[in-house]
Amino acid sequence: MSRLARPAEGRMIGGVCAALARRFGTSATTMRVIFVLSCLLPGPQFLLYIALWILLPSEDKARTAW
């Protein structure tokens, strides 16, 4: 199983949606649309995105750590 890390390529803002899309086997565009639509619902989606941006390592940094 691959580690969850923000990719070095294909990022729009922080790479969180691209990382989640890669992990779940879907396209980054699909994950971005799901995120934007989820922001229309009440909840902490935006805060979760910021937290994942901070907590997920960048792919190039994750490669050097292993």
> Which residues have CB under 8 Å from 64's CB, separation 6+?
none
Pair 6, 59: CB distance under 8 Å: yes
The C-alpha atoms of residue 40 and residue 22 are separated, in whole angstroms, by 24
**pLDDT tens string 2-20:** 678 898 888 888 899 999 9
Q: What is the pLDDT of residues 26-63, one digit of tens each?
A: 999 999 999 999 999 999 999 999 999 999 998 876 56
Rounded Cα distance between 66 and 24, Å, is 22
Using a cut of 0.85, tell me whether the model's pTM lies above it.
no
